[in-house]
A and B are shown apart, each in its own frame.
Chain A
């Protein structure tokens, strides 16, 4: 039997913008076991809920992550609204959907770039991020913020998008989709990409489900689970169908994200077509008294905001289960059998967000 050695991977590593550590147990160049380790930058944001008023905590929730910040705000606000019995105006639900899908677009394009970089495909990385810039421009134009939008609040949204701007967005969607499809064509059909990703880090459908994994990571294994199917925000109105691949390898997880880029563009298009006129928010009276597990589909999967109010202006508890935390067990199962040189690509294939995990 070959001698086993342990190779530390991270917390500082070229493919990891944020710190996670893996102890890789190797036999020659092959991974035989993995021990993950997190907690290098845990911020204790859940505890801050006891020191901020429930309406102010939206700002903290948005800062859990710099990529899916808007969706954290939606998850938090939906939870409070459910506890307080607030009915959010239709226009606000549509605006939340548009900004959520813009967030998903820029998150997936960010990931595609990082993934290409991890594969060593540098110009594909640059092209992905070039397209992402145009989504960030739209977010900045409509919310004032590229990373933290600050437009979601308990009871609705803080800003509107005027009809002129909506029309302009609609007109840019067609050429943008064409550019994204050109980019996606390389990820889906290029021989280099296929050779690098197919058959790598395979997880079966049953295993993905049993491990409690979520998001594109599990949809790449054939699990048709996407919380947008529950119809929160305006997804129930504009219609939604999860993107699913069945191979369960790195290529399948990449293909899900590529096709979700196309799906997000379509969702934004339909939301703009159907958005009704009307108010942006409802008045929030009283304080939350009760509890709710609010669930939202982020780019990396389902996030759970457990919120518990005791009738005061401060919540008694906020517990946030982020998708990356749920996907770590699946990563641990993916890596055994993989060659050391492929570890960065497999790790990236779950789209790890440590900022979320270290909330």
Chain B
């Protein structure tokens, strides 16, 4: 059997993120990953979901100092991606179920993937 994979990407506003994620959760979607991209002064965060190989992607664009709410209350396993997003990019994520406070990924340099926050030494989730 061959299944055709479809990929859709939808932009979401920060205030709509939790509601959109809850809808996908209620629709039986699995969390595939959360990934961040530095787009020059701002960040694009992709929340990727899948159901029967149909790929849905919620795209959130935030400025450098914006706090992002955790979706770990909806998808328990999201903590790995959210801690990673914080530790590599320095994006503050609030309300993570298991918050490592910047120690999940032990890099020699704080927030190594962040251009705007490179060299900072404060945990953004503290």
Enumerate chain A interface residues (CB-CB to B < 8 A): 35, 37-40, 42, 44, 46-47, 209-213, 227, 229-231, 235-236, 239-241, 292-293, 295, 302, 304, 306, 308, 316-317, 319, 321, 325-326, 328-330, 332
Contact = CB atoms under 8 A, between A and B. Distances in A.
A240 B1 contact: yes
Contacts of B106: 39-40, 42
Contact of A328 (B7, B80, B107): B80
A304 B76 contact: no
Contacts of A209: 30
A236 B2 contact: yes
B98 interface: yes
B48 A293 contact: yes
A314 to B, nearest CB: 14
Contacts of B87: 39
Main secondary structure of the interface of B (DSSP, over half): mixed
B116 interface: no
Interface string B89-126: 00000000010100111110000110000000000000
A193 to B, nearest CB: 29
A212 B32 contact: yes
Interface of B: 1-5, 7, 30-33, 35-38, 46, 48, 53, 55, 57, 75-81, 84, 87, 98, 100, 103-107, 112-113
Given A39-B87, A231-B2, A316 B113 contact: no
Given A230-B2, A292-B7, 20 more contacts: A35-B98, A37-B100, A39-B105, A39-B106, A40-B106, A42-B106, A44-B112, A47-B112, A47-B113, A213-B77, A227-B53, A229-B2, A230-B53, A241-B1, A293-B48, A304-B32, A321-B32, A329-B77, A330-B77, A332-B98
B7 A229 contact: no
A306 to B, nearest CB: 6
Nearest to B35: A319
A145 B37 CA distance: 34
Nearest to B97: A329
A42 B77 contact: no
- 10 residue pairs, one from A and one from B, having the closest CB atoms: A329-B77, A231-B2, A39-B105, A321-B33, A236-B2, A319-B35, A39-B106, A212-B31, A211-B77, A212-B77
